[in-house]
Chains A and B, each alone.
Chain A
């Protein structure tokens, strides 16, 4: 006997993501999904961002890592509420994990939740979490070819942040080539170049975040 299903494999995840989105909308909270390769500087960027923004916005962070609480400890030192999710080897966060993390926050007091997804350019792109916005990071030390090798994550993002700008002179990274490659997959994608270490370009990123919350 043949049974027609026509069921999306990720349907349950997408349903939970929608519920997360509704829950956040009810409380007027914006959630951002931050994605990149491991070692691109997500946590360093977050530390600097939170330090500069925590007096102006009420923020919280969800940290996703295969194991360890190192990132959550770094964020907690900045003095921002943080929940660490461990995927126990899994390569991405899903909507159910994020749902559990959200229960640890007082949503009535928050304006912006930043999810630091597991460092990976493949799987996180497939799993909606209930985020309003996706931000993808590419560091100058990773090389230009990431955009060509992992087009899905760069196609389905709302902002590209180029990090480690201070290291640009020591690499072969070509900022112009980023725009040439993006023109093929996501021509209207805004790009912010910055260095969390020196502070160069941080203002544009902070303004972008503030505009997102005030929208």
Chain B
């Protein structure tokens, strides 16, 4: 549901980008989704398949989704670490919760391929 609404916005961005780069057909879209983002890759994939009827896409167009891990730095001891659990993001060394997220909140269109 939510991913469908997001995908409509993505298609608009793709159409503008295609026009700006003289592409008439998009063959591939690569999207980056952080694991702290409320975007579910499977639902996004489904929403993409529903948008394929748009003439901007080649019949065989595909969506690649790269999930990005949650990386953070500790404000107390400055160590950099990867958080496995989106709920408990704390420093593995000093156990501080005062952390700064470096990645995991991304939601961006990395690149498109087309002709």
Which residues in A have some Cβ–Cβ distance to B below 8 Å?
1-10, 12-13, 90-92, 122-123, 125-126, 148, 151-152, 183-185, 187
Contacts and interface: CB of A to CB of B under 8 A. Distances in A.
Given A122-B38, A125-B38, A5 B110 contact: yes
B1 A91 contact: yes
21 contacts: A1-B114, A3-B21, A3-B111, A4-B111, A5-B108, A5-B112, A6-B108, A7-B109, A8-B108, A9-B6, A9-B10, A9-B13, A12-B9, A13-B9, A91-B2, A125-B38, A148-B87, A151-B87, A152-B36, A184-B90, A185-B88
Contacts of A125: 38
Nearest to A89: B1
Which 6 A-B residue pairs are closest in the complex by CB-CB distance? Answer: A184-B88, A123-B2, A187-B97, A5-B109, A3-B21, A151-B87
A1 B113 contact: yes
Contact of A184 (B37, B87, B113): B87
Please report whether the interface of chain A is mostly helix, strand, loop or mixed according to DSSP: mixed
Contact of A9 (B17, B98, B108, B114): B108
B12 to A, nearest CB: 9
B58 to A, nearest CB: 13
B87 A9 contact: no
B54 interface: no
A123 B39 CA distance: 9
Contacts, number: 80
B23 interface: yes
Contacts of A5: 13, 17, 108-112
B1 A6 contact: no
A90 B5 contact: yes
A3 B25 CA distance: 13
Interface string B96-115: 01100000000111111111
Nearest to B26: A3
A5 B109 CA distance: 6
Interface string B30-59: 010000111100000000000000000000
B38 A3 contact: no
B9 A10 contact: yes
B72 interface: no
